[in-house]
Structure 1
């Protein structure tokens, strides 16, 4: 076997491609190239070997002399030695002298590094040119290079993007066109290449000494320490993927022992640096014991983000880096802006982002809804990392034991490692694979006097998935009313319970099990839970192109008479963010009241988004509904009149005095509130607070809120009702504008506590939650706590950018405008004014009238 430091592999690749008649080669071309080599030389170089030569697969060791000779003969050379000698002469090669030994070493390092870079780029799950450079890694390596530390490592689970991060780092500092440290010698190798030498008995020191043929007993580091004028810069050794080597644990420990020996021996040579990538599970096994020794921390730089419990120092991608990858992948920027915060948080894990990009690889294919994509990503991840694994049976045993210890989620998300493995040595290798694949995560809470390691699933969605599959396994893969009742009884109301049912629903959809879907929807869920399940169902059939026909088979005529739509769509008018789901519901419901409920939600969604043209469409539909199916005299003012009042005021700045007079007569009609309200009456009561705010009549707004809580006593006790939070925030707004700052602060604080205490009630009801944040910023401004007000307003704007609540965005921008002016932040104030101008141009509503 030849040494890995040969200089002419890249040149040989180019010669082979020239002979083959191609400028670039793809993995599929390696089969045809193998045939061409066989025809020319009568010698066989397999397709797999060619993939390793061109970097499409990992080279487990250096290339054989047979492979190199055959490729050289294909290019019309006698053998590999002849190829090297001819090209060495063409390059004007000369023996190394004291003046060019550093350059000779650099030339060797560059040849190997370029090959490693090519290999890692070709292995990238997302095409390398579409990946994003991680600024954290640049900063981490920069701090390390400027320090006295001898070594550093990027530590994270498998699929975290460590290798691609190292490629970006290598190009940024050493190999890019504008590399910052061109004079350094950077030796970038994969651990398979280094490991094959180390296992033979070599040390890294001996290997480096051999690169310049210094002679017996001479040491490279000592040589350049004595001839420091000949040294151009640092000697940086980057080793990627030591723990990807398929060697026994004792051999892996031996490799790391040799690596540590090399690191510690560089104490007198601060210009020799080592950069390593390693999985967190391996770091825990191999290196964590070294942390007991002071010397370890003196030599190893672990960075500012190191999490001692999970052994991770490489954070996930930032949200901006995720968006950069998606933009590079030619996703429509308008679609990217619609991604929810939760979805972007999932895509921050590079492996999930890779799967998502692969799911949308076809440029002609329409984007898969983020909700559906999330479940597809998890499903594919589990399929690849668990079910396709040779040790899947052992892994499933561990997961089943984990679910048993967690009582399917009732006992929390953590369990004890000792209880999980129970000293069963047969499970240890499979357990290590689950950690390496980022299905399970360890959190080491050990202290000097005790050993305690907790284990959890890497993400809650994995726990939800495996819990749902366990329920299905116990019910013989059948979704029945008994199963639904069992889950509802066993799991308390929470987002986790909804997540489990999302997986059960997905299973029923994939199995075309209509009866199973009906069983799920007949369960005793809360309205928000049913809303989420219905959205998943509607989105699936919309994506499949089947639409309402399939849904009508699930929800036949009269279904929503037996199970009213109010159990699926909350009375909170700002609940649904997905208009397409509401349009699907419109094709299914039959009663006029259900149609009114959905149409008014659609109107209010368009209104808070300042979509004037969509408001006109919904107004027309509301008018038809009252003309044909509903009476408009069931309340002192009808929902259609309320909607038209909103529209006319915002569009033209005009007020229908007749409607206004009747609206202000609300005190005469509180008798309605003591009886069960029709939905028409509910719409009116819910709209009044917004109308008074829109008109700027804060005295009436405050009086209305007080009378509402007096005459509708049930509202006082339904703390989690989003409408109640909305009224509290409007009352705080009134107090603030009437000079009662302490009253406004008290109301805002109470609303904030409710939102935090009942988060599940506000999964869709984001409008009251965001209104509270905007009002909190305004209260802090009134108290002249400008820094706190600024933080609150900027945090609110981060959320509002992701939501289509332009009415609130305008109010928050006006607050930021005042804050930036007061704090003399002219540049930021100018940007806010530009954003306000963009909103003004995007709508035909009058900007100055917007106060809802």
Structure 2
């Protein structure tokens, strides 16, 4: 029979390491240790066996007598029995402070548990010391231990951190330096070992009796119930890793039945507790079926987070837990604070966080690009969980069938389990692995009279990935014009289409398909789609280091003269993270129009940050560009408009002649043909919005935005155009400042609905959302909905700080100042005023922006 009592294994490990001359063994040293044992004993102990002994691999059975004898002989003992005898003598010489039966069992349990913990630590996907305790799990186990329940369970998909959470919980409660419950007995074992025992007829109750050496038919639980004075605490049995892949479903059910017998027999012994960790798919297959019995709910504690449809009771990492792990990996806190909410949400999946930390070999760099990291994480996730699996062919067949049933997402995100499997037994093992590895998710919507189980991809980005790979497989493993045109025709403009195109673009980049990359920019895509794709290309080659040479190969000289990109460098590029991308694009630009577009964006970014020195640099470059190009139909150049702003902020003065020229915009407009704005026109119109805002002339701002939409109604139909949405927000601001609330409310609701209709990454600049929140806060303030006003303003403030847009921050602080004044929150009001002073002192612009801070 397999012996679960690893009393001497820890000591044997220490002796082997001492003989080998190292304090801690690494996996790559096992081969050298194999040779050292061979040289000393003449016996071969394989590298794989040594990895099991030292916890680097799963132990599904006990160690053979041959292995134990060989290791003991390597340590200068006659054999394993001699090693144990010598160990007993050493132990006997040491004074024993507590030789009670309870303490004897606790020592045995600690030896087993320490070995299990060591094994799990060594198998952790990242250095264990960089992991963190999950507060939810600690609270869940604490509440369970204090309850009358006999058993609890952590249920989650693979890679969710269940084993790590159990280690932290075990160390917190029983094995740490200052354990919360030092008198408890904790048996921490792996399900492989327990499963092997139970399937061979082993009985948990008998095993506990044997560990106590009671004999005479006495029972462990009954003994300590009858002698409570000898029992110092509780007995906790932790079994980690019930896994349907490690054994057949029939054996798993048998294992569960034996475990259930043990749990239900603890009714009269509430001090005996069982803690399990189980994959969601296992719970759905075996454990979930028993919930119909009242006894189940009486004995099992599932916790408040239990989701009956997806079989998960262990939530994802919290945002603070994600950041704590990143700090443990020595990421700069300033860098972590700049991660977008969208990216942080992805990293809340523990396995993705693990991959991200592994990929980021230089965490002290100024910024880790989210876009590229996310695609790399997903790609590696699929490689590990699908392509490198022995059942990869069946898995891909199932995924292809699921894509067909979903019509690549056009028919929805769910399909029936019965339709997917179609009673094909060959698919069942692969299907279970896909569930266990969190590629697919089941949702059980069955009722008493109807069986209804739905299947979907665990995350939408997996659907996007596999959709893109589907098209690649059906077009000869290459990216061509017919492939891209098929995707273009098959999906409407949407974030989903952008994501599919990005995966196809990544495929083309990683395989150096230069012709395929150029094909993307020949498509009749929307402005935002081209902007996303161009940015992805530039970001990828910036990561490679020799981006300019590689980009020149893809886009040879003359390419961007024939295909100017200025038309799709939208406001989404107004973000300090995009400055590096814009500078790279500036080196690629060949037309003056493209260069002007980038320079204008860089100027506006510097203006929003109140960076006077950078504004001056960009203004000098814009002057050169405007001097070499005819003004066309424009009555004023972008340089003149931006110069007016700069001089007003820098010196507190305005050029009277230029002011007169700016204010007579209406008489100079000439919209003979309905066409898109030129780069110069858009720059001037944006500058005019800022001018009226900075001067505090909201009446003129309202007239200008209204006339702009009247004279150029075509922009109203481009629902997602960032310039349109920004102009609408400025118009709403003008309405508010002139006391006309209803139009401002309508505009704010419209912009909010547009932004909410698209995922966060669609408008990744976040400046539009910030501006809309500022407007919404003022509307809530007018309606005296102060709680809503504070929430909107504080949300806007957080985004403004992340963007480093000081103009937005000043505008928002002035709103908070008024809110605090109404609520008589003097401390907060003083703090807001102080922060406005700090912002003004941080810039060399001498103008105090009166239009933004008037009450």
Q: Secondary structure in 2 aligned to 1:28?
A: helix
Q: Secondary structure in 2 aligned to 1:180?
A: coil
Q: Secondary structure in 2 aligned to 1:587?
A: helix
- For structure 2, the residue ranges without an aligned partner over 5 or more in a row are none
Q: Secondary structure in 1 aligned to 2:243?
A: helix
Q: Deviations over 1:514-570 (max 9, x none)?
A: 111122211121010011111111111222223233323333333334333244323
Partner of 2:252: 252
- Supply the distance in 2 between the matched residues of 1:92 and 1:480 (Cα, whole angstroms): 77
Partner of 2:238: 238
- Supply the distance in 1 between the matched residues of 2:88 and 2:717 (Cα, whole angstroms): 87
Deviation at 1:328, TM superposition (A): 1.2
Partner of 1:197: 197
Distance 1:838 1:402, change over 3 A: farther
Distance 1:541 1:245, change over 3 A: closer
Q: Does 1:681 align with 2:675?
A: no
Q: Deviations over 1:471-513 (max 9, x none)?
A: 1121112322222111111112111111111111112112222
Deviation at 1:806, TM superposition (A): 3.4
Partner of 2:733: 733
Partner of 2:648: 649
Structure 1 stretch displaced more, 208-217 or 124-133: 208-217
TM-score (norm 2): 0.94
1:472·1:479 contact (CA, 8 Å) conserved in 2?
A: yes
How many aligned residue pairs are there? 851
TM-score (norm 1): 0.94
- Supply the distance in 1 between the matched residues of 2:571 and 2:633 (Cα, whole angstroms): 18
Partner of 2:638: 639
What are the residue-to-residue correspondences of 1:456-535 with 2, within 5 Å?
A: 456-535=456-535
2:7·2:112 contact (CA, 8 Å) conserved in 1?
A: yes
Distance 1:596 1:184, change over 3 A: same
Q: Does 1:622 align with 2:622?
A: yes
Q: Deviations over 1:100-159 (max 9, x none)?
A: 112112111111111111111111111001112211111211221222211111111111
Partner of 1:435: 435
- Supply the distance in 2 between the matched residues of 1:42 and 1:155 (Cα, whole angstroms): 47
1:673·1:712 contact (CA, 8 Å) conserved in 2?
A: no
What are the residue-to-residue correspondences of 1:314-393 with 2, within 5 Å?
A: 314-361=314-361, 369-393=369-393
2:570·2:722 contact (CA, 8 Å) conserved in 1?
A: no
- Supply the distance in 2 between the matched residues of 1:219 and 1:94 (Cα, whole angstroms): 30
Partner of 1:537: 537
2:72·2:80 contact (CA, 8 Å) conserved in 1?
A: yes
1:494·1:760 contact (CA, 8 Å) conserved in 2?
A: no
Partner of 1:554: 554
Q: Does 1:607 align with 2:619?
A: no
Q: Secondary structure in 1 aligned to 2:25?
A: coil
- Supply the distance in 2 between the matched residues of 1:363 and 1:734 (Cα, whole angstroms): 44
1:720·1:758 contact (CA, 8 Å) conserved in 2?
A: no
Partner of 1:223: 223
Q: Does 1:705 align with 2:705?
A: yes
Q: Deviations over 1:400-454 (max 9, x none)?
A: 1111111122212211111111110111011101111111111111111111111
Deviation at 1:832, TM superposition (A): 6.0
Structure 1 stretch displaced more, 17-26 or 667-676: 667-676
Deviation at 1:707, TM superposition (A): 2.7
1:99·1:230 contact (CA, 8 Å) conserved in 2?
A: no
Q: Deviations over 1:711-755 (max 9, x none)?
A: 333344444333332233223323333333444333322322333
Partner of 2:33: 33
Q: Deviations over 1:608-642 (max 9, x none)?
A: 23334332321221122223x22468533321122
1:576·1:764 contact (CA, 8 Å) conserved in 2?
A: no
Deviation at 1:834, TM superposition (A): 7.6
**Root-mean-square deviation (Å):** 2.8
Partner of 2:579: 579
Deviation at 1:79, TM superposition (A): 2.8
Partner of 1:161: 161
- Supply the distance in 1 between the matched residues of 2:841 and 2:73 (Cα, whole angstroms): 69
Structure 1 stretch displaced more, 379-388 or 545-554: 545-554
- For structure 1, the residue ranges without an aligned partner over 5 or more in a row are none
Q: Deviations over 1:768-801 (max 9, x none)?
A: 2220112111221232211122222333344445
Structure 1 stretch displaced more, 745-754 or 266-275: 745-754
Q: Does 1:667 align with 2:660?
A: no
- Supply the distance in 2 between the matched residues of 1:212 and 1:385 (Cα, whole angstroms): 43
- Supply the distance in 1 between the matched residues of 2:304 and 2:364 (Cα, whole angstroms): 43
Partner of 1:795: 795
1:394·1:430 contact (CA, 8 Å) conserved in 2?
A: yes
Q: Does 1:78 align with 2:78?
A: yes
- Supply the distance in 2 between the matched residues of 1:251 and 1:788 (Cα, whole angstroms): 56
Partner of 1:23: 23
Q: Secondary structure in 2 aligned to 1:241?
A: strand
Distance 1:586 1:96, change over 3 A: closer
2:647·2:654 contact (CA, 8 Å) conserved in 1?
A: yes
What are the residue-to-residue correspondences of 1:675-824 with 2, within 5 Å?
A: 676=675, 677-757=677-757, 763-764=763-764, 766-816=766-816, 819=819
Distance 1:675 1:483, change over 3 A: closer
2:331·2:364 contact (CA, 8 Å) conserved in 1?
A: no
Q: Deviations over 1:293-330 (max 9, x none)?
A: 12212211111211111111111112222222122112
